[in-house]
Structure 1
Amino acid sequence: MNWTDVFATRTLRMKASEIRELLKLLNQPDIISFGGGIPDPDLFPTAAFQDAIVSALNPGNESSALQYSVSEGYGPLRDWLATHMTALGIPCVRDNIMITSGSQQALDYLGKLLLSPGDTALIGWPTYLGALGAFNAYEPHYDRLDPGSNRSAEDYAQTAQSKGGRVKFAYASVDFANPTGKTLDLSERGAILDLAETLDIAVIEDAAYQALRFDGEAIPPMLALEIARKGNIEACRTLYCGSFSKTLAPGLRVGWVCGAAQVISQLVLTKQAADLHSATLNQMAIETVASTIFDQHTGMLRQTYKARRDAMLAALSAQMPEGVEWTRPEGGMFIWVTLPPGMDAAEVLQHALTHQRVAFVPGQAFHADGSGANTLRLSFSLADEAEISEGISRLGQAIRAVRG
């Protein structure tokens, strides 16, 4: 059978993740990898999860932990999250929260909920590769979201109309963004909210790294800013996507969406049709661990990752050849590097893997239009300071060799 003849047209937009492919290199011990933006497993609260899972399976609990459950998610976890969100300036209740299998599933569901073929999504340039993967299946067009520009809402609307649809949402990774490490300041967040109000579109706020701030003053989430404007979450168009993957345990696949109850109710129907509900045992374990050690544990993560970020910034300053630039994030897991014009990061990667045994992610994959060939993403979350120093030295060698 020729399966390509029966695959849906949307599959033409589905591509293998360059990051997922690079993760396979982690099994090669001689490669120093700055590729995958993944937490250090040595920092997982393993003992706390062991106790939490045993507790969830104790007599009296096991029927809940192992049985089908509600699509909205485990009630006590949603209650904990409502308290957590309220502390971030987002007063809400459990009906404003749905549990997802990681925030990646939240992006997929929101793409399914909001996008018809030919509609336009406003995204950063570059943007999170996983967001592109999630949205691509719903056959949108992309337009560049640039809150610092003077581009009018009318221009966005007319451009979308010329492509056969309308603008449906603005997507932004707001704190220490993947891939750039940049944070949207207060004025940029306000500008996105203003644009969304004028266009009457949704805002998807990707806050996966919000808890990993090392320096500077915390900036309120966009949903908190909108609530301050409108007085109530039910009047807001912003949908906050959070995750425990970067703070507690990515393998348990627990994330959440927080927003107006009307939208959450529709997302629940989407989840019912897709996977019924996220794994209850995982949710119970997350709730137990989060309610006991979340603040303490994330404090330790910030201290550890800050030291690694500092090591990478110092190594870049010492080892990068002239003409190479990079971001200086206040948190998160990533530094974005821009090579001199005309250089190709994919070519540098090939040389670096073959000769220097160091890996990173070329930046072109993060650009919806295929631009950004001279950019690359470095993650500092997995390597220790000694590995970072050695790996950046190797990267400098690779860049010099390719540049000639």
Structure 2
Amino acid sequence: MSLQEIFATRATRMKASEIRELLKLLDQPDIISFAGGIPDPDLFPKQIFQEAFNAALSGPLATHGLQYSSSEGHKPLRVWIAGQMQKIGIPATPDNILITSGSQQALDYLGKLFLSPGDTVLVGWPTYLGALGAFNAYEPRYDKLDPLSNRSAADYTAEAEAAGGKAKFAYLSVDFANPTGATVSRAARERVIDLADEMDIAVIEDAAYQSLRFDGEVIPPILALEAARKGGDIEACRTIYCGSFSKTLSPGLRVGWVCAAMPVINQLVLMKQAADLHSATLNQIAIADVAEHHFDSHVEVIRAAYRGRRDAMLNALEEHMPDGVSWTKPEGGMFIWVTLPETLDGANLLAESLKTERVAFVPGHAFFADGSGRNTLRLSYATSDEAKIAEGIKRLGNLITRALAA
């Protein structure tokens, strides 16, 4: 007997993450890795968190931190997050905030909330691999979201219905997106709101990297733009904002949040109660303490570090990449997206790179819902110093030059 024979059909949609597998390479000291989209652990505010946990376990909140708690999340943390939302134009109250175990859990819950098998999700081409992984379990189809194209709301709707389902939401990573590093323009954000209203669908705004802007013009979040249109009433908005402390304070504590209208929050709370009751309270208490007293100053530290590494990688790409290779120039975040001549395959290039150059990166096809994009790759500059970046890009440039000449 094999239990696999009675797995639900959704299990066939669950695939191993290529990125999670590549993270194992970080333990090999001779590898220069541009693969993992993870923060630099040397930049974690370790001493500050030690003090926060000590305070949480020795003060009046100690019993609360070790006990079961509310599914909505630690109230002081939700108050702080609501204040941050208001600063960026989102008229949220603490009741509009649900604490999740990282924004990845939020994406899973939202897939569960909206998707029936055969429904359509509108995504970028490419898009965040973790979002595809979260949504895949609910058996959707994907359509390419291109807000500034000539496709109308009726076009999107007709194709979804022809495929046997309904369009349910658009998903966007809006600032310095994983994987491309690109930022969605204000015009495109406004058009997404138009499409969502015309199609009667939700918008999931993934803002994991929003705090990591190095330069360029700040663009209001989609939820802020929509709220401004709708009289400052978040309850009239269809955009669901997903935030996270993973790229700013700590990914290991697994604290993220959803900001949305109350009907969405209320339903997600029920899912939270059924799934894990609540996110770890002690972690939330520590995050609330560190965020309240140190968030802005710490973000300035990591911005400066990542800005220098981005510049080092852009300079090295300019110096070492052969003709026919292009790349994005992000204004923040952790990623640069490289497009190779169509004759090259990113997965084959990675295999050769690991053997001969000892440089790791992520082949780009994993970020496309249809598996296309074979001639693309994602580079992360977050965890390598500037000298390693220069050396790694030099090696990679030499490899690509040889591959093109073969």
* TM-score normalised over the length of structure 2: 0.99
SS class of match (1:176): coil
The 8 Å contact of residues 22 and 35 in structure 1, kept in 2 or not, is answered as yes
Note if 1:53 corresponds to 2:49. no
The 8 Å contact of residues 176 and 332 in structure 1, kept in 2 or not, is answered as yes
Match of 1:377 in 2: 378
Match of 1:22 in 2: 22
Give 1:188-199 correspondences, 5 Å limit: 188-199=188-199
| Unmatched runs of 5 consecutive residues or more in structure 2 | none
Match of 2:304 in 1: 303
SS class of match (1:240): strand
Match of 1:92 in 2: 92
Deviation, 1:60, is 2.6
Give 1:120-199 correspondences, 5 Å limit: 120-199=120-199
Match of 2:352 in 1: 351
CA distance in 2, matches of 1:166, 1:395: 43
Per-residue CA deviations over 1:259-291 (Å, capped at 9, x if unaligned) read 101110000001111010000000000000000
Give 1:266-305 correspondences, 5 Å limit: 266-305=267-306
The amino acid that maps onto 2:195 is L
CA distance in 2, matches of 1:59, 1:387: 44
SS class of match (1:182): coil
CA distance in 2, matches of 1:178, 1:374: 17
Root mean square deviation of aligned Cα: 0.6
CA distance in 1, matches of 2:3, 2:324: 48
The 8 Å contact of residues 347 and 402 in structure 1, kept in 2 or not, is answered as no
Deviation, 1:402, is 2.3
Match of 2:5 in 1: 5
The amino acid that maps onto 1:397 is N
Match of 2:337 in 1: 336
Match of 2:112 in 1: 112
SS class of match (2:89): coil
Deviation, 1:157, is 0.6
Note if 1:387 corresponds to 2:388. yes
CA distance in 2, matches of 1:94, 1:263: 14
Per-residue CA deviations over 1:142-182 (Å, capped at 9, x if unaligned) read 00000120101111111000111100000000000000000
CA distance in 2, matches of 1:257, 1:124: 21
SS class of match (1:337): strand
CA distance in 1, matches of 2:121, 2:150: 18
The amino acid that maps onto 1:287 is A
Match of 1:228 in 2: 228
Deviates more, 1:310-319 or 1:58-67: 58-67
Q: For this pair of structures, how many residues does the alignment match?
A: 404
* TM-score normalised over the length of structure 1: 0.99
% identical equivalent positions: 68
CA distance in 2, matches of 1:334, 1:235: 34
CA distance in 2, matches of 1:88, 1:105: 23
CA distance in 2, matches of 1:10, 1:164: 17
SS class of match (2:149): coil
CA distance in 2, matches of 1:77, 1:25: 35
The amino acid that maps onto 1:343 is L
Per-residue CA deviations over 1:168-199 (Å, capped at 9, x if unaligned) read 00000000000000001110000101000000
CA distance in 2, matches of 1:338, 1:308: 20
CA distance in 2, matches of 1:111, 1:325: 34
Deviation, 1:62, is 1.5
The amino acid that maps onto 1:228 is A
The amino acid that maps onto 1:117 is P
The amino acid that maps onto 1:265 is N
Deviation, 1:298, is 0.5
Deviation, 1:341, is 1.2
CA distance in 1, matches of 2:281, 2:235: 27
Match of 1:245 in 2: 246
CA distance in 2, matches of 1:27, 1:401: 28
CA distance in 2, matches of 1:102, 1:364: 25
| Unmatched runs of 5 consecutive residues or more in structure 1 | none
Deviation, 1:59, is 4.4
